[in-house]
Structure formats: C-alpha cells, structure tokens
Structure 1
Amino acid sequence: MYKLGNVIQNYAWGSKTAMTALFGISNPDDQPQAELWMGAHPNGCSRIVCDGESRLLSDVIEQSPETVLGRYTCDQYGELPYLVKVLSAAKPLSIQVHPKKSAAEEGFHRENLAGIPLNAAERNYKDPNHKPEMVYALTNYKAMNGFRVINEMVELFEQANCPTLSDDVQALKANPTPIQLAAFFREVISLTGEKKQSAIAELMENIGSKGLSTDAKAIFELIAGFATEYPSDVGLFAPLMLNVIELEAGEAMYLDAETPHAYLEGTGIEVMASSDNVLRAGLTPKFMDVEELLKNTRFEPIPAQHLKLKGQVKDNKVSYNVPVDDFKVEVITLTDKPQTEFVRSAEIIMCLQGKLTLESEGQEINLIAGESAFIPYSSRQYSYKGTGKAVRTFN
C-alpha cells in the first residue's frame, strides 16, 4: 500500500476556497483549485514513495503491471483504467460530450494519421478511450446532464420568445422526435453572425419578462449568470435544452458517453474512465468541432427524475452500480471496528471526513480528510477502520 501524493489542477473555473474548507488543503498563492487528481493519467499522475524513492504511479505500474493491476485488468486495459478526482467548480465548465469507445478508437487513429499533434487546439481525440463519469456530491452540486424531454424544451423556448428561432421551435413542437431534436440542436449550436447576435439579444431581453413559470425563472437566472462570463456564446441556450440537476451532499449521478453535460457549481468526487477526450458544445472560448460533436451525440431525452444514481446500501457501504467495467465506487461509513477487504484489482481509497487507518501485512497507513492511498492487487487483502467517511474506487 502507498500513500498518494496528488496533483492539483489550477483551472480558471475552480474554487479558491472549497478544498481548504473541506480538506484543509492550503492555497498560499490564492489560485483556483479546480481538480485534485488521483491516478496514473499522464496529465496529472500521482506519486508514491517506493523503496525510499518518490516515483510516478504510472512508472510503478509500467514496471510490474500484472503485480500492481492484477491479470484481468492488465489483460483488459493494460493500465489503471480509471481516474479519481475531487472537482470543485466556482464557475461553469464547458458544455461537452465524450465519445463512446469505438468512436474514440477510430477518431484517435484518424487524427494520428492526419498528423495532428496531441496538444493541438483542434485535436478532438487525445486517446482511444471512452470517458463515462460518475459524480458523488460533497456539497450542493449543480450540473446540466442530458436532453430535456422535448415538450419541456419547447415550453421553455416559447417562454424565451426568440423570434429568430421560432420556426425551428415550431418544427420541433410539430415533430418531437430524435431526428428533429438533432436538427434543432444543430441549428442552435451552429448559430453565427447576425442570426446568432439576434437570437442571443432576444433571449437576454426576455429573461426578466413577467408571467414566466417558476421553472423558467430559475432557468433564466442561470442563463443570466452564464452571460456574465460568456455574453455571446451559443451555450447560453443550453439550459433550455438540457436538464438542470441539483445534487445534495451524498447524492450521485452517472454521465454516459454521447450525453451533453456541464458541471456548473459545487464540489464532488468524480470518477471516470482514464481518458481526456472532450467534444465541446458551448460556454467555452476553446475549439468546437460541431460536426464531430453531432456525430458523437445521442439525441434521446432523459427525464430529469432518472438522472440520480440510487446507491445499494449494505452494512456500512453504499455501492453505486454503473454500466461500465472501468470502475466501481463505494462510499464507506467508517467505524473503529476493523473491516476486511479482499483486493480484486488495484484500488484508490480516499478519506472524505475524519480519519482512516489502513492495515495490510503489518503495514499501516493513516489518512486524514483529503488524503488517499493506492492499494495494488498484490496486497490481496487489507483492513480499514476510522471515523467519518471514505470513498473506494476499483474495477
């Protein structure tokens, strides 16, 4: 077992205070602390002390992959298949879609053949992997996830009263199908020039209109907030098309491939397949490839009530079943009675609250809130005890 030294990513949208408040992580330079990465991803690989030497976790895995990961994971993935993050948003992230695995493999190969550098702004596929995600909220957490049911979408656009888009809205109302939704979405995110300016001006003009429904008022307040950062971005229309969901601390949701989404505010644990493939759809100054985005978007509305994950409670654990094999997640309520775990793959365990003690073959690691450990497959079993809560990720 190894205590992890983790990387903090200082993306501009990150909170400057949340990680200090939750975990006591210092921020002497008053930088946004957007994400704390736990894993072996090359863009932010954790470090461990091995044989008295600080080493990248990825190097340790590469040196003895079957010992560290286990034969199944080694054969199936050849690497640690997941990445665990603490994500803390003070401002909205870009609206984005992640490709399914077959599309990622094809796109990665195609862009390699085209000679597009991995760090190029116009590069869509940084690796050949999909990126399903799960979020477990540590604070109140707001996000957009998946298309609204079409009648809700139409009602909101009608209340927004944008004459520039009225024909498109009426076409969707008359033919509420995935094909027409795709055409409507294409029209909105492809807005340019005077038509884009007119549509956004109409939207902003009607934000404070009287007679709006309660739901519409909340959505338009969200749009007004977006406009302070992105006043001329087509992403301003996103809350009219996508479900807006609020998680309370302790609630979770899953985000599948080909589903448009954006994290808006709050702090949570984000667990995902180890990938950095992002196709953007708005609220960003970065490159947007509309055609590639549309090819990788599933135009199926998701009722908002279906978005939250229901955990399976057993004894001191809540397990979250996700429809992929790349990762599994358990949230553990700790007690002072040691509990034994049998290791089926490499694990990352993080103390969320209180204190956590891990023990295996006479070795002991003590963690406080915000700290984490890596447990290789070769450990075979370990015990844990403590106070508060921990989150355990494995595959």
Structure 2
Amino acid sequence: MRSVGVEEELLLVDARTGRPRNLASEVIRAAGARDARSPAPSDDRGGSLGHELHRTQVETDTPPVESLPALDHALRAWRERTRTAALEVGARVLASGTSPLAGDSAVERSSRYDAMRQRYGLMIAEQLVCGCHVHVDVSGPDEGVAVLDRIRTWVPLLLAVSANSPWAQSVDTAFESYRHPMQMRWPSAGPTPVLGSPDAYRRYVEAMLATGVPLDEAMVYTDARLSAQHPTVEIRTADVCLDVRDAVLVAALARALVETAAREAEEGRGPDDVPAPLLRLAGWKAGRHGMTGELVHPPTGTSRPAADVMETLLDHVGDALRDAGDHDHVAQGIARLLEEGTGARRQRELLGAADPDDDEALGRAVVALCRITAGEQPSPAS
C-alpha cells in the first residue's frame, strides 16, 4: 500500500466580517502554546502548521498514512488545531481556493519572499490562492518520472473534483475554480512534457532554473513533480477542499492514479504523449466548469459530460482502487459530488443568497463556510 500525505493551504478570516486577516504568525504561536500546554495524543502526532506566501494563510501537512480513515482523521485534527488557535486571536479558518471577500492581505516577510516580491512585483500581492497538494509514495526517481509521464492527462480531473474557488475578492468569477487561472499566472506552472527518465527530468528542471525566471527549484510549480525532500510524487493541481471528505477523495484518486501509472510502466505501456498546450486547455476547462458541465476526456481529448469522464476515470484506476480497498468509497464520493456539487456549489449557495451590498450578510455567509471547513454542515440559509 502506497502511503499518502496531504498539504492544505488555509485562509485566515475575521471571525465577524469574513474578510482576510494578517494573523498567520499569531495563529502559529497560539497553536504552539496550546500544544505545549496539552500535547496531542500519540495517534495525532506528526504533521505541521506553518507559514505560506501571505500572512492571511497558513499551511498544514499530515503525516504519511496508508488508510483513508487515517487520512480523514489527520486532516480533521489539523483543521481543528488551526481553528482553535485562530479563535484565540479573533479569526476563523476557511478552506477556499481564493478569498471570497476582498481585504488587505500582506505578503510574509522573509528573505525568500522578499526576493519573490522584487522579482514578480504586483503579482505576488495578488496571488492569494490556496491549494491541496497530495504526496504519494514512489520507490525512487525512476518510478517517479514514469508516473509523472503517465498521469499528466488525468491530473486535470482532480481539479474538477476539488473545485472550490468560485468567488474571489467579492466577485463571482463564473469559474468553479478561479484559483486555477490565478495559479497559471506563474511562469513555471502547468503540465510537464513526457520526459522518460530521471536524467531528462533533471535537465528539464535545470533548464527552467537557467532562465533565471523561477527563483529556485521550489518555484517549479508544475501540475505534478518529484518532491525534493521525500520519495514521493507531489500532485499540486487541486483546490483546497471546503469539505474534508472531498480532500480525502482527491487523495484517494491521486494514489490510484500513481499506482495505475506505475503498473503501466512495469508492464511496458508507454505514456500518451499529449502536447502540453492541450493539457493546459483541459486544466482550464476543469477550472471553468468543475463537475457542472463538460470536461476533456483523457483517452480521446474530446469534450464530454463530467459524469461520463468521471466514469472513465473510475474505470482507469479501478483495479488500483479495489486493491487498496478504496473503490466503493471513491465511487460513492464521485456520485455525491455529481449530485450535490463541489465546494464551489456550496460557496455559491451561501454567498449568492446574501445581499451583495450588505457586508454583514456576506460576512455571515463566509463564517458559514468556515463552519463547513471545521466539519459542520450549515444549511444554505444559515
């Protein structure tokens, strides 16, 4: 069984107005003090809470686990730790790919972030986005690159499943994931070409760095990449999910894609060498429509209804899901999203019901989203 871990970027918003608050340092200190007073139970240890690009964000990461229930537990535990620390300083935690409401968001001060600000200018100030990054265990660089080459056509579907950023800066963007086009503003973002070997992967990364555009290797923001710290493939395309259940679903699908790709490579089946510009179009379509319209069907490259494409995805990774004992869980999760909608639908239900000229009503809607982030399920009218 391949282990899987998840990093979640979370927003800090005012507990009353729902607007971004620059309180990352205060929340991290409060969480550390709370942990010092009451250490977590042994089965809740592992993972971390840290800074992100903006002071209105924090990032959690889970320890690597093998079962979906263990991952669900770890994600909820870290959201709860962050929530309780945020409440101590007058904030709430929101899992959203973008900030639904406008507000002042300052960039963290560090030598690296200062260098990024100097290089990228206004883009850094505007780049308030939150993703869900899934790490899946691989045996080494050879298997890792073989996996990257074979999952690239399927990765946009994880964005569709996770879509959770329809509102940004007090505007309904018409996208299910507006985070995606914002993320694609990074010059190093997007799909990789088929590379074939660890040496070719290394040459590709070094060629990007040689341009002087990415600040360092950590800024190679491709849809999926080899982790520099761990023997994992890191899949970075998903929005942070409003509902923990959706984050677990994304992780289960990511693991199944990795396992399926590794088996294909072992069997000598080559990757589909789809040009990267076409994969960018598939990603754009997933961000625009999520699960509400049509997606690009990976085997054919044509536009098909989301339900049909998800059925193809389940067929593609079916053996890996069954071997992991995850098939029923994933099939039920996809059926739930097709019927009930992703986080983007919940955001539109709550924010769309509020008077756009009533700041207090919009704030209440965002606070309701914070309660869903914490594991509660308020009705659209709350």
Greater per-residue strand proportion: 1
**Structure number, greater radius of gyration:** 1
TM-score clears 0.5: no
TM-score by length of 1: 0.31
